[in-house]
Amino acid sequence: MTRAWMRTVFDVQAIRQDFPILSRRVHGKPLVYLDSAATTQKPRAVIEALVHFYEHQNANIHRAIHTLGEEATAAYEETRAKVSRFINAPRPENIVFTRSATEALNLVASAWGRANVRQGDEIVLTQMEHHSNMVPWQRLAQEVKATVKYIGVTDEGTLDLSSLDDIITEKTKLVSVTQVSNAFGTINPLGKIIAAAHRRGALAVVDAAQSVPHMPVDVQAMDCDFLAFSGHKMLGPTGVGVLYARYELLEAMQPYQSGGEMISRVRLEGATWNDVPWKFEAGTPNIAGVIAFGAALDYLSALGMDNVRAHEQELTAYALGRLRRLEDIISYGPQDPSQRGGVVSFNYPDIHPHDVGTILDRQGVAIRGGHHCAQPLMRRFDIAGTARASFYIYNTLEEVDALVEGIEKARAFFSHDR
Confidence (pLDDT) at 2: 44
Hey, which residues are catalytic here? 373
**What are the phi and psi torsion angles at 275 (to 5°)?**
-70, 165
* pLDDT tens column, 405-418: 999 999 988 875 55
Q: What's the mean pLDDT in 310-328?
A: 96
**Position 264 pLDDT exceeds 80:** no
Q: Which of 294, 325, 131, 298 is nearest to 209 (CA)?
A: 131
Sequence length of the chain is 418
What pLDDT shows up at residue 363?
A: 96
Q: What is the pTM of this model?
A: 0.95
Spatial separation of the C-alpha atoms in residues 105 and 132, rounded to whole Å: 7
How far apart CA 307 and CA 247 sit, in angstroms, is 31
Domains of the chain: 3-36+304-417 (3.90.1150.10), 47-302 (3.40.640.10)
Give the pLDDT score at 7.
55
Q: Which residues does 34 contact at the CB level (< 8 Å), separation at least 6? A: 365, 366, 367, 389, 390, 391, 395, 399, 403
Query: Angle at Cα 397 formed by Cα 395 and Cα 403, nearest 5°?
Result: 80
CA 293 to chain centre: 14
How many Cα atoms sit within 13 Å of 138 on the Cβ side? 10
Amino acid in the structure at residue 183: A
Region 244-262: mean pLDDT is 89
- 29-72 pLDDT per residue, tens: 999 999 999 999 999 999 999 999 999 999 999 988 899 999 99
Burial of 339 (0-12, 13-18, 19+ CB in 10 A): middle
Amino acid (1-letter code) at residue 320: L
For the segment 90-99, the average pLDDT, to the nearest whole number, is 98
